[in-house]
A = this chain, B = another copy of it.
């Protein structure tokens, strides 16, 4: 299988051997096509916690896939504070929103030690000229991102603190599950502060809600480790569409 001898680090696993390939870009490609994608992907050294993948305003050159760890993207408010716009977990793709501006509209920073696959965009475009499926997959990714952002807008404009945090936890749980990890208990890669920033809440509010959820037996949390104790009620609080809830409850 791995004819190339350069498997010096786990970061050099080929796409076809990557456990995340079924979730990531190669999804739509045949084995042979994957090798072509594989050739254009750059796998850099791991990013340490706090290191930046790119900065707001940097020239847009690549999209990125998270292999392990976690990335946050953020932009600066006019008062100079940071506003977190997304968290990215393994197999998730970031950088697509820079496409129409030639610069990244957000900064991307590692929240823990993180391995990244970098996909130079001009080469990805060239490649996608020949693989309509790859093209459609990228369009679908962007379309999905738009829908997710709209869910987020709904959260921010209609939900109270309890509902926001319940939604956030359920969302994380289902993303962990999709990657094959436990969705009942997992480790939050972000601080309470980052969570509040993302959810439009003060740190203190996040903390209070966590405490209350724990008192009521919805979750059990020590530090960043979290266990979902009552997925049904948590989903009910999150208040997604019924159809989504079914899926998530069965997954937690």
Contacts and interface: CB of A to CB of B under 8 A. Distances in A.
Interface in A125-161: 125, 129, 132, 135-136, 138-147, 149-150, 152-154, 156-158
Contact of A153 (B81, B99, B144, B149): B149
- Chain A interface size band reads 35 or more
A97 B146 contact: yes
A85 B158 CA distance: 12
Interface of A is mostly: helix
Contacts of A232: none
A241 B79 CA distance: 10
A239 interface: yes
Contacts of A135: 135
A101 interface: yes
A166 to B, nearest CB: 12
Contacts of A158: 77, 81, 83, 200
B83 A144 contact: no
A142 B157 CA distance: 22
Contact of A85 (B81, B97, B136, B153): B153
A105 interface: yes
Given A139-B139, A150-B97, A200 B78 contact: no
Contact of A150 (B75, B140, B239, B240): B75
A234 to B, nearest CB: 14
* Residue picked from A144, A146, A154, A240, most chain B C-beta under 10 Å: A146
Interface in A72-120: 75, 77-79, 81, 83, 85, 96-101, 105-106
A242 B78 CA distance: 8
Contacts of A24: none
A199 interface: yes
12 contacts: A81-B158, A85-B150, A98-B143, A100-B139, A100-B144, A100-B147, A105-B150, A106-B150, A125-B132, A149-B150, A149-B153, A157-B198
Interface of A: 75, 77-79, 81, 83, 85, 96-101, 105-106, 125, 129, 132, 135-136, 138-147, 149-150, 152-154, 156-158, 198-200, 239-242
Which 10 residue pairs spanning A and B have beta carbons closest together? A157-B200, A100-B140, A156-B156, A99-B143, A149-B149, A100-B143, A142-B142, A78-B239, A97-B146, A100-B144
